[in-house]
Every structure is written in structure tokens, then in C-alpha cells.
Structure 1
């Protein structure tokens, strides 16, 4: 058994960093929370709720945190995470784990070598409607899944109201932006359900007039050999209104997940599958983030593994690396098993 952490470090105070700061203070009112600012632009009001603000990693390490939430751009994760791991600091790293596979491997080796808990911030894993889909698939209610179609899209200019999207991480290649990395939740939850694929094929690029230097549309196919299965994933920065949904086509029926409506629909041949609709009370959009942080801190206290863990984050990057290679080669790429 470990000890419940009461000294937290939050790295970076963008929109997700500020959310984590509010949630940590709500869940741990007596904790001591420090913030490491990675931006050189002073924003005195953004650290409300923190006990200490520092501006160098050395000062952050001197604070001696028990646990850290790394919410900086993905391109910065490996250096910061490696140094925190060396001090035995448990980490929740915002998705994606890193901007490239090599950096993800660096983080994984550091975390495993230090024996710390390292969680990746794919908060959709805590969404009750998606958990229901996971349970239904495991129950075999619709048989064996043969095909999956997942889609998520939202016009980038509407992601963060009140901010200029051109200055966001999402729009900048140097910070680890682009639809493939920023919308990698879909890759994570499908790997959670089905494991790593055998092959990947991808097309992506810039198709809109958005002012960015990253891809704004991705069509990704994951192929499985045993059992045979094809998963199609569509990611974009373009759609008005926003959408997030997934359809699972199986031998005896289908399961449809409407993420924004928090609804799951099961259908099939009446003699085989009972038609069912599961409606979940629309929750505060913050609930999955609260549940995520609660899982992280209680896992530290209880000495349990976390989900998604650092290996799950590496697996997502394996698929992303294969997708990038597929685009360069113009063909299907075999996944290299870790």
C-alpha cells in the first residue's frame, strides 16, 4: 500500500492544466499544489487555487511533489516526465503520451525503471456510456465484432471559446498538434477494446482554410487478422456541429454509441438480439476528468495499476507511428509488436 498523495505539481496552465488545478483542489482541499508555468506570458489569475507558482523545473523538483499532472504540449513531455520519474514522482500525463514513438518509449522506460504509477489522460475511458459499450461487447450480446466505424469531428475554431485557435497546441506541429495526436482518444478506446491491430493504413492532410501547419483530417484503418476485423477511424478539425460516435457491426447485431448524446443503442435480429437503448443522464462535461484524477490518486494510495497506463499510451503511439509511415509510403504498414 502506498500513501495518499498530498503534494501535487501541475505542469503548464493551458485550458486542461487549469481544469486539473480546479479538480485537484475540489477533490483534495487540504493538499498543497504547486504549478510549473511553461509559458513566458504572465497570467496571474490562471493559477487561482495553487499554493505556489514556479517557473523552472529545478524549482518544481525542489518542491518535492508526491504526484504530478503533466499538461504541457506533447513535445515537452519526455524531458519533464523523465526528470520527475527519476525523483519517484507519480505522473498523470495528458494525452497523447508524447509527440512521437521514441519519446513515448523514453517516458515508459523512465516510469517502469522508477517503479512509479504513470497514467495517460484518455479521460473517455471514464465516460459511463462508453463503459457500457465495453461491457456489452465483452458480454457477447451481439456476437463477434467484424467491423467498427468511429468518427469524431469539431471545427477547431470552436474548441476553446475566447482563444485564438492559431495559438493553440492543436494547430502547431512543433507542439505536437494535429488531428492524429489531438484526437487520439478514438485510437485509445478501440485498442482498449480490441488490442493492437496487425496492419494500419492512413490518409491525412490539410483540407480546410484553417490557418495551421498540421493535418486537419485523418482517415485511419486498422486491420486485424485473428479474428478478422476492420476498424475505420475518422478524425477531423472541420465539422459544424461537433460529432463523436461509433458503430460496432457484429455477427448477430450492432451497437451504436452516441458520445455527445450519451446514448447506447443495441439492435439485431429480433430472434437473436433484444433491442435496447441505454440513455445516460447528460453529465457535466467535467465528470470524466474528476473520475480520472480520483482514479489516479486512489491508485497511488492503494498501490494499484492505473488505466490507461503508460504502456497503453505507447501502444497508441505505435499506431500513430504506423499511420505516419503509411502516409509517407502510400500503402499499408505492418504494426511492429513491442
Structure 2
């Protein structure tokens, strides 16, 4: 080929995504790597506002997309498009020196390494949280001692005092079952579901949390008494409920008038298509765990169910990731809604109804 390569050839040869924006923040040009990143052709991207095409969990980066004069570089940020997670990328945006009314965005996807693996071509329920066997072993040993001590203590108590020791024993068994489950979270084994009165599990989880806080926290409820049995794994569901209630306690710990509420209701709206199936599974049973705490920071809202993302200084970021995994194992779903003004923040669980015998 004679002469210098054309601009089109240069753009086509660049391996990372390049987007040119006009003064109205509309996509004016995108290279083939950009088309591949967003999974659609330039024809469907040109002329669209950049904030409709590209989003970030960090609101400051979203604002930078529509700031005409800003130059900004960010490394290792999660990027989204139309609510689809595209991955972690290095991001750069700056005005073009040859024409300040034009801006150039560069996006370079990072290689995905580490302990959390999610395949784009697999079911999203296949979240792998691998708990090392040695950690499970080190936790199970003291738990066995606690259970044994509680059983010995129970023999010396009268009937009115045995409730607490029985609760200790039940909670130890639940945690042991959870550890066993964590060791196989990377597998696709189905949950051991059965018909359960969900209010019985909620009451048990509430009593456990109230006992752990020395009755300092009161959890109110608003139950739908006509709710049918849910199809759930009782141990997994207990873990989900106690995790969400513990988070609500932490969120309201420093408030003068903390409020934590559990609401159940029947709704006809939600459904999902199970992996490998053709019929949609209805999810009409809803459980809402609400609190009047500050809520999840806006910049983390899209990441709260991702492993190792935590709003707590000492948090490990596994709690809500595990909740999401357990819910999906039971063919359920979870959603977070931030409270506005006087409204409470809430986590809503969507569960299937148990079939009638």
C-alpha cells in the first residue's frame, strides 16, 4: 500500500475502544474495538448520548462524561452499558487539542484475575466464593466445643432457661451447615428446597438477632397472614435473613430512634426463566427487610452484591454476595432500593411458591 495509512485504518488497528464525542455529548465516532466492547455496531451507537451508552458505579465518573472541559483518568473501574456489566477498565477522557469542542474517550478492558470468576456465557448464578478447607476446619473445631458446652449447660437448667441454650445449639448447627455449603459454592448443586412457612423462619431469625443484641434492637413486622408456603432451603433462607437483619442493625446502630421492619406480601409481578428450562418461574412471595439507616452509598449501589465490596470499614464484602448466591440457588432473587426522604432503605427478596401436594 502506497502512502500513509488513512485515519480509518489507524482507528481499526487500535486494540482498545476509542469514542469521539461532540459538543452535545453525543457519540460522533467509535472504532471497531469500541463496537466489540459494547457488543453492537457503530450504526446503533452514533448519535446517542454518551451517558446512555456508558455508565460507571462512581457518580463522579458519570458526571465527567458531560463536563466539556474536564480531563480525567481512572484505573480499574467497573464499566456498564445499558445495565450490563462490561468489566473493569482503564478510562481516560480529554478534549482534543485540535478542537476543544470534541472529546476523546479511551477504554481498555483489564484482564480478569483473582478468586471471583463469572463467565459472561454462563448463568449469573454461578458466583464462585471459594472458602479454603483449612478455614472451615479451624472454625468448625471451636463450634463443636460451643455446641458441646451448650448441651452440657442445658442439663443443669430448668425448662424456663433452656430456650437460650437450644438457640445456641441451633445456631451452631446452622453455621456448620453454612460452612459445608461455602465449601461447595463453586459447584452447581441444586439447593435442598422444601415447602416452608416463611413467617416461621423470619420469627426465628428475628429472635436470634434480638438475642445477639441483648434485646437492644426491636424488629417490627407487617405480615401477610394469607401468604402460602415458599419453596426454599431452610438453612440457606435463615442465613439470608440473619445476614440482612444483621446489616440493618449495623446501619441503625448509632441512630437515636432506630427502625427495622420486616414486611411480607404476595405480588403477581416477578418471574424468571430457570437455567435450562423453558417455563418462567413465578416469584410472588416478597420479603422486605427495611431500616432507616443511611443506606448504601450511591457509588456502591451497583456493586453491593459483588464479592469483596463492603460498606463497612472492617467488612470482608462476602455477606451480600453470599446472599445473592443463596437466593439464586433457590430460584429466588434479591433487589436493593435506596430510601428517599422519609422512606426506609430496603432489601426485597423474591421467592417461588411451594407446589401443592
* TM-score bracket for this pair, using the shorter chain length: under 0.3
Task: Normalising by structure 1, report the TM-score.
Answer: 0.26
Identify the structure with bigger relative contact order (alpha carbons < 8 Å, sequence gap 6+).
Answer: 1
Task: Normalising by structure 2, report the TM-score.
Answer: 0.25
Structure of larger gyration radius:
2
